[in-house]
């Protein structure tokens, strides 16, 4: 595993990285889980306004806003798939979230990024499968992004962190 990958337990909104990733919804309307936490910490009104101007985001894609009140410079809002049994392109869509975020980060000149466990909360993706995709795809991207410095997988609890450790 690439030694630029790090696993941490904590709150993603506190990290001083170039970009944090938000597990957003298609409307970019804010919500529960990590999305709600990011909106509150960034400044709900400003972030809501920026998201409204963008309008929305397709599943598996990414859009960018400033970090506003966050220590991070930017927020990459990606929309993970809702788990519907696994036969609705969920793995490809989840993989796309990670590769699109990494590609956008490199394009913007960012060198550090933090990901939450996309789709692993309200969207119900089986965590072990989601974690395997996350680690595999980020590792694959890093092979071609040689100037990238740091990728942090931020886990809300120790149980999730141990799944990531097993996958790396």
Q: Does 13 bind ligand ADP (CB under 6 A)?
A: yes
- Pairing assessment for the beta strands 19-23 and 112-115 based on DSSP bridges: parallel
Q: Does 67 bind ligand ADP (CB under 6 A)?
A: no
Q: Catalytic: which of 3, 35, 139, 157?
A: 35
What's the CA gap between 5 and 51, in Å, rounded?
29
Question: Torsion angle, CA of 29/135/91/142, rounded to 10 degrees?
Answer: 90
Q: Does 121 bind ligand ADP (CB under 6 A)?
A: yes
From 18, 93, 119, 135, residue interacting with ligand ADP (rule: CB under 6 A): 119
Half-sphere exposure for 98 (CA within 13 Å, toward CB): 26
CB atoms within 10 A of CB 165: 13
Query: Among all chains, which residue has been given the structure tokens 């490199």?
Result: 106
Q: Does 98 bind ligand ADP (CB under 6 A)?
A: no
From 8, 30, 37, 44, residue interacting with ligand ADP (rule: CB under 6 A): 37
Q: Does 117 bind ligand ADP (CB under 6 A)?
A: yes
Binding stretches for ligand ADP (CB under 6 A): 11-13, 23, 33-35, 37, 80, 116-123, 154, 156, 160
The residues assigned a catalytic role are 35
């Amino acid at each position: 595993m690439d030694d630029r990958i790090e696993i941490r337990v904590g709150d993603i909104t506190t990290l001083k990285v170039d970009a944090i990733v938000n597990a957003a919804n298609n409307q970019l309307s804010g919500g529960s889980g990590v999305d709600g936490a990011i909106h509150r910490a960034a400044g709900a009104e400003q972030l809501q306004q920026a998201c409204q101007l963008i309008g929305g985001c397709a599943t598996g894609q990414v859009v960018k806003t400033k970090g506003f009140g966050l220590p991070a410079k930017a927020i990459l809002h990606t929309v993970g798939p809702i788990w519907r049994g696994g036969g609705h392109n969920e793995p490809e869509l989840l993989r796309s979230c990670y590769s699109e975020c990494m590609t956008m980060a490199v394009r913007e000149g960012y060198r550090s990024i933090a990901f939450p466990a996309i789709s692993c909360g309200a969207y119900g993706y089986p965590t072990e499968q989601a974690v395997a995709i996350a680690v595999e795809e980020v590792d694959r991207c890093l092979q071609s992004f040689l100037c990238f410095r740091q990728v942090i997988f931020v886990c809300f609890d120790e149980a999730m962190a141990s799944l990531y450790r097993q996958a790396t």
